[in-house]
Amino acid sequence: RWDFETIRTVDPWGTELGRRFRGGLRRWNMTVQWWLAAYVHRRGPRRHPVLRNAWTMLASAYWHGLHGGQHLAFLSVPLWLAAEAAAEDALGGYFGVPLERLGGWKGSLLRGGQWFLKMRAFEYLSMGFVLRGAAATLRFWASVHFCLHLLPL
């Protein structure tokens, strides 16, 4: 039986309001995300998550077409995924609880900050889709001093 969930491709609330970069990716173009997870991501090297994510993003970039700006954007995603995981681990170690369980104003502030950075990263990386060309995308990123490449580093 077919229903709306079979063809639903975007969860707008999850994409916009979710605080995690990884979660935002999973809720955008969900049918393609499922295919990439099932047939590309799971076949990548488990011991090297950055390489596994880069492999998956390269496949996604190819899926979207041969536009250099899009490839640059997709290949920047593993940097953000690694930075997010490292920051969550560090904060969890510092506070002794995972970020999602940290209460009070500190938890709210950190989760809100994470959401804010996720949204800025999506905006920044989306320029590869808007401008499409590698030279134009690099020119834009240079105009803002590659700030959202340097921040996750």
- Kindly report the pTM of this predicted structure: 0.90
Distance CA 114, CA 96 (A): 18
* pLDDT at site 27: 92
* pLDDT at site 55: 94
* pLDDT at site 7: 77
Between the CA of residue 105 and those of 18, 111, 114, what are the distances in Å? Answer: 18, 10, 14
* pLDDT at site 3: 76
Asked if pLDDT for residue 2 goes beyond 80, the answer is: no
In tens, the pLDDT along 74-122 reads 999 999 999 999 999 999 999 999 999 999 999 999 999 999 999 999 9
* Most distant CA pair in the chain, distance: 51
Between the CA of residue 20 and those of 2, 56, 82, 133, what are the distances in Å? Answer: 30, 18, 12, 28
Distance CA 132, CA 136 (A): 8
In tens, the pLDDT along 50-70 reads 999 999 999 999 988 899 999
Q: Which residue, among 151, 141, 132, has the nearest Cα to 64 in the 3D structure?
A: 132
Our CA angle for 116, 119, 121, nearest 5°, is 110
Structure tokens at 140: 């834009």
Structure tokens at 94: 């510092």
Between the CA of residue 143 and those of 12, 124, 128, 134, 137, what are the distances in Å? Answer: 30, 12, 14, 14, 10
* pLDDT at site 40: 95
